[in-house]
Structure formats: C-alpha cells, structure tokens
C-alpha cells in the first residue's frame, strides 16, 4: 500500500499582506526590506502600495493602487508614525482591512510595535495571538451657502478654526438640531476617543477611553472662559456654522482641508464603518497611556495597599 502523501502546509493567516511605509522618508527602506523578508519566509504574499513602491523603488513585490489595495489584501502593516496610520486607516476602514502599526515615529499611539521587537511580535500576531480593537471615525460634511458639498473622514478629529489672518471666528454649535451655544474662539475641535489624546488633549480636552461611545467638543482659546469641553454621545449629529470669520477652515485629521465662508456649515456624524486595529496580545490601553504620557507611578512602584513607595 503506498505511503500517504505528506500533508500540505496550512496556509498562513492573513495570506496577503500589504506593506505601507511613511512616504518620503529615506529611513523606511531598511525596515521595509526587513519586514518583507520576514513575511515571505513565513509564506505570506507581500505587496506594496503604489506610493511606497514609487519612493523605495521596489522591484520584487507586486504594487497595488489604492483601489486594488482595498480588495486584494487581508492585512495592512503600516510603518511610520501616527500621521501615516491616520491616512491609511481612513482609506482602508470602509473595506474592513485590519491594520498593524510599526512605530517609526515619536509617540506612536496608533503604531505600537517597536522595530527592535518586530519579528517576535509580528510572528505571534500573525499566528493569531493578538487583540482586535474597533475605532470610531467621523464623517464630516461641508455644506456651503451656494449649495455645494464636500465630505471627508476623520479618525482623530475634525477642527473648525481661524486661518492665517489672526482674528477669532464666531460660530454656532448645534447637537441633533438643538442650539447649544454661540462662541467667539480660535476654533472648535470635535474629537473621537482616538483623537482625545491628540490635539484635543493639548487644548484641555478629556481623555476618552476607546470603549466609551462619545465625542468630545473642545473649544480652542474661547473668548469667554466659561466655554468648557463637553462629551456627547457618538450617536449625535454635531453641526458647526460659521457666523463670522474671513478665513475660517475645517481640517480632518490635519490632512484633509476645506476653506469656509460665513454661512457655511460643517455637519459631523459617526461614520458607518470602523477602523480595525490589531495589537499584541499583551496590549493594555491604560499601560499605553502611562508610557506615552509619562504618568509617573506604575504598578511595580505601588505596594499592595496602593500607596506609592
């Protein structure tokens, strides 16, 4: 009786992996080659997005346009900082592609794997030892006085603010069609939980844990100091109208920008899709905050009674 044929190796999890690097950074080439080689040795098919391939001159990997990337990959690994991840997340979130971030930037709230540990950490995650987190996005719609519209997504925040002429703007804020306040200020930030540790935090806004379904409205340098940050349910529709301001603008994640004229209105709602982030299995949101924000006390420095040693 003939011996049974050897079993074929099981296909890898996330068989098709796209690598997306921070565009224009000469330091991206070596980490990109290192991770691509690691993935190929594991049996994954590796592709590059068009902008990354154009910059690094890669010849040994398929190149995918943004459109092809959305349907031809099981996982995207992003090499760079949080700005790179914000851009990629907005592109791929509507298509449900999970994202892993390798930190080549500074803080790395969204890119949490250091290059020094990349093979060990990625290997475990690709074998299924990871935690998945779904993050809310905002759909911002600009409604102009002439009837035209523009739309963009934001993962961090939408900011309505003054421009370069230096004068405050006057705006009106409504929630679910109800008047909330009129305000003179440098601007207003509408932040997701992800964005609560970004620009909103630097202007005195609250940190919102990822599991909390809320948006933060944070005034920027309001003329009346009684205007304070507030949190509202992320099921709400938030509208900000510019009543006075010669050079106002709206910015989505600091990457999509639209000029605003007096009478223009920005309407914001929770997007119908979420961004999928994969983290190492030991990932802990509050431990990440302690590290990134340099909170002083750690569990190791506390005695069982909870008093700092």
**Residues 226-239: tens digit of each pLDDT:** 999 999 999 999 99
Report how far Cα 210 is from the mean position of its chain's Cα atoms: 12
Query: Sign of torsion, CA 73 75 77 83?
Result: positive
Distance CA 293, CA 18 (A): 31
Classify domain 16-128 by CATH number. Answer: 3.40.50.10330
Taking alpha carbons only, the member of 58, 41, 82, 279 closest to residue 197 is 82
CB 199 within 8 A of CB 191: yes
Q: How confident is the model at residue 8 (pLDDT cuts 50, 70, 90)?
A: very low
- Under CATH, which architecture does the 138-271 domain have? Sandwich (2.60)
| Band (72; pLDDT cuts 50, 70, 90) | confident
Which pLDDT band holds residue 127 (cuts at 50, 70, 90)?
Answer: very high
Q: Measure CA 77 to chain center.
A: 14
- Selecting among 82, 112, 186, 264, the annotated active-site residue is 82
Residue 82 appears among annotated catalytic residues: yes
3-state SS assignment for residue 74: coil
Distance CA 131, CA 287 (A): 15
Say whether pLDDT at 137 is over 80. Answer: yes
Q: Where are the domains of the chain?
A: 16-128, 138-271
**pLDDT per position as a tens digit, 185-199:** 999 999 999 999 999
pLDDT in tens, 144-195: 988 899 999 999 999 999 987 778 999 999 999 999 999 999 999 999 999 9
Q: What is the pLDDT of residue 167?
A: 85
281-304 confidence digits (pLDDT tens): 999 999 999 988 988 766 666 565
At residue 5 the predicted structure's pLDDT band, cuts being 50, 70 and 90, is very low
**If you average pLDDT over residues 47-72, what whole number do you get?**
81
How far is the CA of 293 from the CAs of 94, 212, 309, in angstroms? 30, 20, 21
């Amino acid at each position: 009786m003939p011996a049974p044929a050897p079993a074929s190796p099981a296909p890898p999890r996330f068989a098709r992996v796209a690598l997306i690097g921070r565009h224009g950074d000469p330091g991206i080439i070596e980490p990109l080659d290192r991770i691509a080689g690691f993935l190929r040795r594991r049996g994954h098919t590796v592709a590059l997005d068009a902008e990354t391939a154009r910059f690094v001159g890669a010849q040994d990997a398929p190149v995918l346009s943004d459109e092809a990337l959305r349907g031809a990959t099981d996982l995207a690994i992003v090499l760079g900082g949080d700005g790179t991840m914000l851009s990629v997340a907005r592109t791929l979130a509507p298509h449900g592609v999970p994202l892993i971030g390798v930190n080549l930037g500074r803080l790395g709230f969204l890119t949490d794997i250091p290059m020094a540990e990349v093979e060990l950490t990625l290997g475990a995650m690709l074998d299924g030892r990871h935690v998945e987190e779904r993050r809310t996005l905002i759909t911002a719609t600009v409604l102009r006085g002439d009837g035209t519209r523009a739309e963009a997504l934001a993962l961090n925040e939408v900011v309505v603010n003054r421009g370069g002429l230096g004068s405050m703007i006057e705006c009106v804020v409504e929630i679910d069609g109800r008047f909330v306040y009129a305000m003179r200020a440098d601007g207003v930030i509408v932040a997701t939980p992800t964005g609560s540790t970004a620009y909103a935090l630097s202007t005195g806004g609250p940190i919102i844990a990822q599991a909390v379904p809320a948006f933060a409205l944070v005034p920027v340098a309001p003329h009346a100091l009684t205007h304070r940050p507030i949190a509202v349910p992320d099921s709400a529709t938030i509208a900000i109208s510019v009543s006075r301001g010669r050079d106002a603008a709206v910015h989505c994640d600091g990457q999509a920008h639209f000029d605003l004229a007096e009478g223009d209105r920005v309407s914001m709602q929770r997007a119908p899709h979420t961004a999928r982030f994969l983290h190492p299995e030991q990932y802990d949101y509050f431990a990440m905050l302690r590290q990134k924000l340099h909170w002083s006390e750690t569990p190791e420095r506390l005695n069982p009674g909870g008093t700092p040693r």
